[in-house]
Amino acid sequence: MPVPILKQGNYLIASIQAAMSDADAEQLQDDLMDRVGRFRSLGIIVDVTAVDIMDSFAARSLRTIAHMTNLRGAETVVVGIQPEVAFAMVQLGMTFEDVHTALDLEEGLAFLNRRVADRSPHDRA
Amino acid sequence: MVIAIDTADDIVTARQAGRELATKLEFSLTDVTMITTAISEVARNISKYAGRGRIRLGVTQRNGRRAMLVQALDDGPGIADIEQALEDGFSTSSGLGLGLPGSRRLMDDFEVESQVGDGTTVTMWKWLPASA
């Protein structure tokens, strides 16, 4: 099932459901890259609140999304990693050091608002 | 219980079956998540390296203790150097090289049997909670 993407002002919000297949993850990369260009989005929130497992493939997909969209001028923040999912990720040996994370959607929006406000007037913002 | 891994989509089926069994066995949510993550990693290894194979789930005795069993079997190319495959960061494919070493950390006991040209069997155990 493809991941739904909502447009909210300058931001895109993608809410990942529990059973994301590898194909869904790859589709999400393409969809977000396409929409960042189409809507001139400045920020992306990837909401994983409903995700009950994050394996190395899913984590790598999210990192790829964050890096690719950053090259297109958009900030990505991953929100809603559940405590047990975080625990398993650490045991597995996955690091998310180069990906912005926030507790929930609200914190994610606050993070993006700060980042966009920090941009100089010469930037797209 | 055996789940055939024929396509990458079957990885989702395998981990859902694992989650159901682990929950039924009264593992904590943290343990259920660790078991499910390990299943996802070994199922993906099958899909990535062997193309197809199967995941066997069940309850077994291991060193005198009851354990949930997760076994990943394939007839793929096999692993030339198992020691190396168990090191963090080693991978011959495009992953993060966490599949096998990560799965070993997520479970309580772990064994790999492999012959080049003759497939790979990864067997993992998680001790059942005392209450079960």
State residue A123's pLDDT score.
55
Establish if B126 touches chain A: CB-CB under 8 angstroms: no
Q: What is the pTM of this model?
A: 0.89
- Mean pLDDT (chain A, rounded): 91
Asked if the Cβ–Cβ distance from A91 to B102 is below 8 Å, we say: yes
Question: A-chain residues within 8 Å CB-CB of B107?
Answer: none
Q: Say what percent of chain A tops pLDDT 90.
A: 76
Q: How many pairs of residues across A and B have Cβ atoms under 8 Å apart?
A: 77
More confident residue, B84 or A45: A45
The two structure tokens encoding residue A123: 């930037």
Return the exposure string of B89-117: e unless at least 16 CB atoms fall within 10 Å of the residue's CB, then b. Answer: eebeeebbbbbbbbbbbbbbebebebeee
State residue B40 phi and psi, 5-degree precision. -60, -40
* pLDDT for B95: 45
- Locate the DSSP E strands across chain A: 5-8, 11-15, 43-47, 75-79, 100-102
Residue type for position B14 = A
**Is A3 at the interface with chain B, CB within 8 A?**
no
**How many CB atoms are located within 10 Å of the residue B28 CB?**
12
pLDDT higher than threshold 80 for residue A116: yes
Please name which of B52, B57, B53 lies closest in space to residue B70, comparing C-alpha atoms.
B57
Contact residues, chain B, for A83 at CB < 8 Å: 30
- Strands across the sheet containing B2-5: B2-5, B53-62, B65-74, B120-127, B109-114
Tokens at A93, concatenated: 């040996």
Secondary structure of residue A78 in the 3-state scheme: strand
Predicted confidence (pLDDT) per residue in B22-62, tens digit: 999 999 999 999 999 999 999 999 998 899 999 999 999 99
The number of CA neighbours under 13 Å toward the Cβ of B60 is 15
- Residues linked to residue A7 through DSSP beta bridges, in sequence order: A12
Between B25 and A122, name the one with better pLDDT: B25
What's chain B's average pLDDT?
90
Give the closest of A20, A22, A92 to B102, CB-based: A92
Give Dmax (Cα) for chain B: 43
User: For position B96, what pLDDT does the model report?
Assistant: 44
3-state DSSP assignment of residue B51: coil
pLDDT digits (tens, 9 = 90+) for A85-106: 999 999 998 878 889 999 999 9
Distance from C-alpha of A88 to C-alpha of A86, rounded to nearest angstrom: 6
Q: Which helix (H) or strand (E) holds B128?
A: none
pLDDT > 70? residue A22 = yes
> Which of helix, strand or coil describes residue A45?
strand
Residue B94: band (very low, low, confident or very high) from pLDDT cuts 50, 70, 90: very low
Report chain B residues whose CB lies below 8 A from the CB of A55: 37, 40-41, 44
Please report residues of B whose CB lies closer than 8 A to that of A19: 12, 16
Give φ, ψ of B18 to 5 degrees. Answer: -65, -40
pLDDT-above-70 percentage for chain A:
95
Phi and psi (nearest 5°) for A44? -130, 130
The lowest-confidence range among A10-14, A109-113, A115-119, B8-12 is A115-119
Distance of CA B14 to the CA centre of its chain: 10
